[in-house]
């Protein structure tokens, strides 16, 4: 008996799909939604999504554009007005002058990563990422046939990627690029200006591409975040309107690239998604005029952060990475479990608190870590502590 053509194709499909692990935060969200459909109460601490709506100015601009009736394509690199406004943002916020032509508007930062990885790296090349770190880095790289090289973070180094760690990894087997994030997901820990400059200098000296994920810029609670462009004009910087600007579902972000990469990336964007969504670009442009509203949202995160940092140790969650920015707490729960997935499932089912297991961010040490997002309401944070007090007693 001969196999059908469909049977012959199945192993190939399986091999391709096996490269991409599940995104556990989204799996937890699905389980939490199912629990809610059964009529149960759930406090959502699992996903990095602001509870506040998009700024009023952004919503009104999108409504006005919608009323005009014609929602069409834009240039693949984005509307020129938005690219110019983003370039002005770098001048106003960081004192860095970049040409608007180097700004590429993308369908969320996720598309920005795909465009960056495809334009910078060939299949089989090696890119350093951190553990813990955002899981989609590893999964996208592997889906594209690029090898992620894990750099374990250490408390002695302040839980950040260091130039010394890159030197060591490159000496063991040559790298082709690195990806650093500050403030970080899952921890909110920041790479200081000097350390960030050190990464850039090391990449230049070793001939590596430096990709800097800066999507949580604007959300810091002490020192402001530094952009890699301050010290390395050749860095590829990725940012988004999702986090500080509260526009997750609008799927709009941007990347800043060296001039020589603009045209290759433009060709990729033309073919992968034609152009970013017009309405989202209109809204994003208006969001820059909503700083007062956005700073009020950030003040709410700051209150949530202060409350949880004070109250979580009282329920036994005492070891955390530094929460310099973003809206996450990455906590060591080794005193309770070495099975963060099972712990997360029980916490959802028994306490009604949804949180993301650390294995989403670190395949090894994440077995005894948990990420809690404080992007929700103050009431959510208070209710989470109350439920955990009863559950962890």
Condensed to tens digits (0 to 9), the pLDDT of residues 293-326 reads: 999 999 999 999 999 999 999 999 999 999 999 9
Contact by Cβ (8 Å): 323, 188: yes
Residue 303 CB contacts under 8 Å (≥ 6 apart), including other chains: 378
Alpha carbon distance 113, 106 (integer Å): 9
Q: How far apart are CA 182 and CA 218, in angstroms?
A: 11
pLDDT at 7 over 50: yes
Residue 7 lies in a domain: no
Q: What percent of the chain has pLDDT over 70?
A: 94
Residues 144 and 233 in one domain: yes
Per-residue pLDDT for 82 more than 50?
yes
Domain end (from 258, 290, 322): 290
Give residue 69's pLDDT band: very low, low, confident or very high (50, 70, 90). Answer: confident
Q: Are residues 30 and 62 in the same domain?
A: no
d(CA 286, CA 17): 39
For position 199, which CATH number holds?
3.40.640.10
Residue range 55-63: mean pLDDT, rounded: 98
Residue 4 lies in a domain: no
Band of the pLDDT at 9, cuts 50, 70, 90? Answer: low
Average pLDDT over every residue of 96-104: 98
Same domain flag for 44 and 73: no
Residue 351 lies in a domain: yes
Q: Is residue 48 situated within a structural domain?
A: yes
Long-range contact pairs involving 265-269 (C-beta distance under 8 Å, separation at least 24): 265/77, 265/104, 265/115, 265/116, 265/119, 266/76, 266/77, 266/104, 268/115, 268/118, 268/119, 269/76, 269/77, 269/104, 269/106, 269/111, 269/115
Cα–Cα distance measured from residue 370 to residue 329, given in angstroms and rounded to the nearest whole number = 8
Nearest to 362 by CA among 151, 95, 109: 151
pLDDT over 80 (residue 15): no
66 or 7, which is more confident?
66
Residue 73 within any structural domain of the chain: yes
In a domain, 108, yes or no: yes
What phi, psi does 85 have (nearest 5°)? -70, -35
Q: Which among 120, 63, 106 is positioned nearest to 283, based on CA atoms?
A: 63
User: Taking residues 123-151, what's their average pLDDT?
Assistant: 96
Per-residue pLDDT tens over the stretch 182-207: 999 999 999 999 999 999 999 999 99
Q: Where is the domain boundary, 253, 275, 290?
A: 290
Determine the structural domain holding residue 114 and report its residue range: 56-290
Mean confidence (pLDDT) of the chain: 94
Count of domains observed in the chain: 2
Q: Is the predicted pLDDT of residue 1 greater than 50, yes or no?
A: no
Asked if residue 1 is part of any domain, the answer here is no
232 and 91 share one domain: yes
Virtual torsion, Cα 227, 229, 235, 236, nearest 10 deg: 60
Whole-angstrom distance, CA of residue 110 vs CA of residue 253: 8
The Cα 336–Cα 318 span in angstroms is: 12
Residue 209: beta bridge partners?
A: 177
How many CA atoms, within 13 angstroms, populate the side-chain half-sphere of residue 98? Answer: 33
Mean pLDDT, residues 178-183 taken together: 98
Task: Please check whether residues 241 and 154 belong to one and the same domain.
Answer: yes
Same domain, 134 and 21: no
Rounded distance, CA 360 to CA 370, Å? 9
Q: What pLDDT does 10 receive?
A: 57
Distance (Å, whole) CA 312 – CA 309: 6
Same domain, 70 and 37: no
How much is the pLDDT for 129? 98
Distance CA 220, CA 184 (A): 11
- 231 and 96 in one domain? yes
DSSP notation for 142-192: HHTTPEEEEEE--GGGTSS--HHHHHHHHHHS--SEEEEESS-TTT-----
Based on the fold, state whether residues 276 and 326 are members of the same structural domain: no
Q: Indicate the residue among 290, 310, 333 that finishes a domain.
A: 290
| Residue 283, CA distances (Å) to 64, 78, 93, 103 in order | 10, 13, 20, 17
Residues 136 and 49 in one domain: no
Do 329 and 258 share a structural domain? no
Pairwise CA distance, residues 100 & 114, whole Å: 21
Of residues 221 and 4, which shows the higher confidence score?
A: 221
Query: How many angstroms from the chain centroid is the CA of residue 309?
Result: 22
3 within domain boundaries = no
314 and 279 both lie in a single domain: no
């Amino acid at each position: 008996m001969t196999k059908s053509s469909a049977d012959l194709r199945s192993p190939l499909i399986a091999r391709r799909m096996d490269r991409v692990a599940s995104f556990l935060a989204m799996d937890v969200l699905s389980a939490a939604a199912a629990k809610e459909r059964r009529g149960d109460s759930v406090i959502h601490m699992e996903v990095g999504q602001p509870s506040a709506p998009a700024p009023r100015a952004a919503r009104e601009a999108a409504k006005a554009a919608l009323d005009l009736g014609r929602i069409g394509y834009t240039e693949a690199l984005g509307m020129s007005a938005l690219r110019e406004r983003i370039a002005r943002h770098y001048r106003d916020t960081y004192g860095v002058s970049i040409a608007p032509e180097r700004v590429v508007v993308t369908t969320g930062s996720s598309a920005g990563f795909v465009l960056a990885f495809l334009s910078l790296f060939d299949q089989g090349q090696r890119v350093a990422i951190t553990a813990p770190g955002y899981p989609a880095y590893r999964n996208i790289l592997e889906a594209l046939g690029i090898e992620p090289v894990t750099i374990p973070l250490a408390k002695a180094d302040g839980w950040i990627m260091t130039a010394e760690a890159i030197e060591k990894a490159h000496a063991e087997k040559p790298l082709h690029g690195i990806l650093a994030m500050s403030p970080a997901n899952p921890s909110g820990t920041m790479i200081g200006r000097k350390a960030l400059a050190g990464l850039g200098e090391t990449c230049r000296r070793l001939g590596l591409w430096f990709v800097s994920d800066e999507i949580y810029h604007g959300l810091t609670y002490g020192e402001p975040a530094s952009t890699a462009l301050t010290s390395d004009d050749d860095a590829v910087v990725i940012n988004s309107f999702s986090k500080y600007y509260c526009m997750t579902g609008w799927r709009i972000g941007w990347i800043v690239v060296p001039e020589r990469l603009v045209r290759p990336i433009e060709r990729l964007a033309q073919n992968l998604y034609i152009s970013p969504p017009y309405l989202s670009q209109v809204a994003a442009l208006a969001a820059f005029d909503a700083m007062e509203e956005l700073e009020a949202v950030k003040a709410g995160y700051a209150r949530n952060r202060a409350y949880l940092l004070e109250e979580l140790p009282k329920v036994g969650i005492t070891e955390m990475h530094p929460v310099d920015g973003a809206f996450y707490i990455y906590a060591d729960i080794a005193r309770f479990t070495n099975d963060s997935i099972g712990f997360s499932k029980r916490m959802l089912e028994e306490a009604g608190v949804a949180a993301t297991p650390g294995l989403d961010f670190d395949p090894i040490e994440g077995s005894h870590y948990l990420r809690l997002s404080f992007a929700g309401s103050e009431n959510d944070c208070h209710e989470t502590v109350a439920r955990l007090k009863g559950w962890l007693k």
